[in-house]
Structure 1
Amino acid sequence: MGSLGAAAPAISPLAQRMLQALAQEQQARGGQAVALVRIAKCLDAPASGLLRELAMLNLLLEQALQPAWVQAEAVEGRWMLALTAAGAAAAAQITEG
């Protein structure tokens, strides 16, 4: 698992790729939330697997007393994902690393 600094928990390569893809897609949409299936397609991964990865990421962040990096919300039957400010910072750090 990779690391994002002293205070951030170690996260899986899939979680890192998910954050990067979400940052790119969200930026391309002017900061709007992105459909989970869009991120799944970008990563060539099943949406259910990404939801499990997101649950694990949230658990790790909660245990480390860190704010959530991704907000997930069901909108009209579709899961939409959006980076929080902390998530955008983490994604930028991954990209720089």
Structure 2
Amino acid sequence: MGSLGAAAPAISPLAQRLLLALAQEQQARGGQAVALVRIAKCLDASASSLLRELAMLNLLLVQAQQPAWVQAEAVEGRWMLALTAAGAAAAAQITEG
């Protein structure tokens, strides 16, 4: 697992790829939320595996007393994902590192 600094928890390579893909897709859409299935397609992963990864990431962040990095919301029957400010900062750190 990689680390994103002293205060940030170590996260899996899949979580890192998810954050980077979400950052890229969200930026391409002017900051709008991105469908989970779009991110799954970009990563060649199942949507359910990405939801499990998000659940594990959120648990790590809660344990580290960090704010959430990804907001997931069901909109008209579709899961939509959006980076929070903390998530955007984490994605930027992954890109730099």
Q: TM-score range by the shorter chain?
A: over 0.9
Compute the displacement of 1:61 (Å).
Answer: 0.1
Distance of 1:75 and 1:96 partners within structure 2: 33
Which structure 1 residue ranges, 5 or more long, are not aligned?
none
The size of the alignment, in residue pairs, is 97
Displaced runs of 4 or more, over 6 A:
none
Compute the displacement of 1:6 (Å).
Answer: 0.1
Compute the displacement of 1:53 (Å).
Answer: 0.0
Compute the displacement of 1:46 (Å).
Answer: 0.3
Compute the displacement of 1:65 (Å).
Answer: 0.1
1:52-97 per-residue CA deviation (whole Å, 9 max, x = no partner) reads 0000000000000000000000000000000000000000000111
Q: TM-score, normalised by structure 2?
A: 1.00
Compute the displacement of 1:16 (Å).
Answer: 0.1
Which structure 2 residue ranges, 5 or more long, are not aligned?
none
Question: Pairwise CA RMSD of aligned residues?
Answer: 0.2
Compute the displacement of 1:11 (Å).
Answer: 0.1
1:22-69 per-residue CA deviation (whole Å, 9 max, x = no partner) reads 000000000000000000000000000000000000000000000000
